[in-house]
Amino acid sequence: MSADLKPYPFDFVKRQNRPRGDADSGHHPVVIIGGGVAGLTAALALAVQGIRSVVLEADETVCFGSRAICISRRSLEIFERLGVVGDILEKGLPWTGGRSYFRNQEVLRFSMPHDANQHLPPMVNIQQYYVEEYLVRALELRPEMVEIRWASRVNKISAGEDSVLLDVEHGKERYQLRADWLVACDGGRSTVREALGLHLQGTAYEGVYIIADIELESSLPTERLAWFDPPSNPGSTLLMHKQPDNIWRIDYQIRDDEVPSEAVKPENVLPRVQAHLEMIGQTGAWTPLWITLYKANALTLESYRHGRIFFAGDAAHLVPIFGVRGANSAIDDVDNLAWKLAAVIKGGARQPLLDSYSDERVFAAHENLQKGMKSTEFMAPPTFAFQMMREAVLSLADDTPGVRSLINPRQTSAIAYTDSRAVAMRDDDRSFTSGPRRGSVLQSAALRRIDAQGRQSCVHITQLVLAGQYLLLQFGAKAAIGADLAQALANLRNEGIEIRALAVCPGIDPEAGGEYLIDADGAAAALYGAQDGGVYVARPDGHVLGRWRSLSGPALVQAMHEVSGMTGEQA
């Protein structure tokens, strides 16, 4: 064990900007500031929908150090749509639950929902620099759609009614960019937020955590591990997560009587790590890779849209790490924004749809902050009263199962936009007895897909959502969409509103002339509470736009016009 930190087993390649002519300094549909997970995901989500963008990133490579490490199933579904989930699953470590200890006694063992209907794990552990690297590689395959300008800083922002003007610095070079739309993904110290004079609102906690990455070969399973007042570090709370490359992330709270600037020094961190490893029986050699400080914040802007400027990720909100809502919230942010922005740019929607981005994601942030604050107050009690309550719960947990839910880390979950302006308020939502509600994300269920050539394959409902397209599922006995709906779909496509429509029926139809789905045992129909003729329409981000016991063509057109902000005259 040495106080010297070993480099990560990852090649942080410094990227070079491609040659840029004078024309490249001009006008762009979208400029994204920040090339982290949020910015890169936004660029890829726009690119697959045919929208060009420029990404301005201050660093010369992907992120360095220990940042986000847990990617949720919801984020994996988004990455699957964007074509990068394969790399993440190949490198990452999936997990389904975890354990918590009070001193050296196990007080909680939890499992996240995972059944035969799911084709993706509930959570995958993978370092943020790998996720960013895979996103960069995917973007480098689309040079005509995306340009990442590394080592590029924005010094000034001038927002107008029709565009945003940026002053950019790259080494000794200075130039200007004009964007129709600007997406600020530039992190917790957002330059864009500062330039607009905006401030995050909420709660900043006093508790301070040490984050240490170590390299250790261990046969311990991949799961979320937590210790409250462990004998190895009395008075502290400690978390452990296994990562690829034999890397372990260890987070522990420093005591109130410790000075953070001293507590973070290797000579003070490494003995604590050693003591904990010995306590849990890990006697193998290990090497420190990274040490830093972390403070829990629960902060958000109250609006994520300011004219032609949008905020996403840490630029929009800072969420406590407990419950892994940071990077996952950022991915959800830009997934929500990208399809709406692409629809407006391509003419398939009007600007009111963009306001729903802020409405929905600010609502989601408040939900995440509320849950994150509860976890934070349990993990790092802010007052003596909270400390006493936690010790009481932990002391009772072994013999009183009813209190164990209070220890639950409340992992991230998709937010439902039940009352959003971007869902159909005139559907039959309340008449369904089961299935995903209006505004919720689609539930996964296995089906057989029959393509136009009659070939069969297995597919899950969440895999049917394609970037930039709405999805209509009609449950019933027939393998084709009725003529009334088919005509409405054709009319909507002529207006620039793309909808993929699929029938879900119980068996093979020899006379079917196109693609359809088979729900042989009726499990999907039962899960969705769908009777013969029932229809679900999902948005391009996989949230249910609306559901109907039966749906006419005119009713579909009306719902789509209301959500997209278009009227019949505008369309």
| Spatial contact of 82 and 467, defined as CB atoms under 8 Å apart | yes
Helices then strands (H, E): number in the chain? 13, 26
Q: What is the pLDDT of residues 58-75, one digit of tens each?
A: 999 999 999 999 999 999
User: Using only C-alpha atoms, what is the Rg of the chain?
Assistant: 25
CA 347 from chain centre, in angstroms, equals 27
Distance CA 522, CA 504 (A): 10
33's CB contacts (< 8 A; 6+ apart) are 39, 56, 154, 166, 182, 183, 184, 185, 186, 191, 192
Residues of the chain below pLDDT 70:
1-4, 20-25, 206, 322-324, 372-380, 382-386, 389-390, 393-394, 396-412, 567-571
**Per-chain mean pLDDT for the chain:** 91
- DSSP 8-state class, residue 441: B
Query: Do residues 135 and 14 make contact, with C-beta atoms less than 8 angstroms apart?
Result: no
Dist CA 497 CA 549 (whole Å): 23
pTM for this model (two decimals): 0.94
Q: What does the DSSP assignment read for 473-495? A: EEESS-SS--HHHHHHHHHHHHT
β partners of residue 529:
none
Residue ranges of the alpha helices (H) in 412-521? 483-494
pLDDT for 568 equals: 45
Which residues, including other chains, have CB under 8 Å from residue 193's CB and lie 6 or more apart? 184, 186, 199, 200, 301, 311, 315
Measuring CA to CA, which residue among 556, 539, 544 is closest to residue 439?
Answer: 544
Q: Using CB atoms within 10 Å of the CB of residue 569, give its burial: 0 to 12 exposed, 13 to 18 middle, 19+ buried.
A: exposed
Residue 112: per-residue pLDDT: 86
Distance CA 271, CA 258 (A): 15
d(CA 537, CA 562) in angstroms, rounded, equals 14
pLDDT for 362: 97
Alpha-helical (H) ranges within 496-545 are 523-527
Q: What burial letters (b/e) apply to 435-472, b meaning 16+ CB within 10 Å? A: bbebbbbbbbbbbebbeeeeeeeebbbbbbbebbbbbb
Q: How far apart are CA 84 and CA 81, in angstroms?
A: 8
CA distance 322 to 409: 7
Tell me the C-alpha distance between 188 and 293, whole Å. Answer: 15
What pLDDT score does 520 carry? 95
User: Left (φ > 0), alpha (ψ -120 to 50) or beta: where does 238 sit?
Assistant: beta
Q: Which residue has the tokens 């150090």?
A: 65
Per-residue burial over 499-537, b if 16 or more Cβ lie within 10 Å, else e, is bbbbbbbeeebeebeebbbbbeeeebbebbbbeeebbbb
Residue 19, pLDDT score: 75
**Which two tokens mark 145?**
């759609």
Q: Going from the N-terminus, what domains does the chain have, and what CATH number goes with each? A: 22-91+121-201+300-366 (3.50.50.60), 429-564 (3.40.30.10)
Q: ∠ at Cα 233 (227, 236), nearest 5°?
A: 60
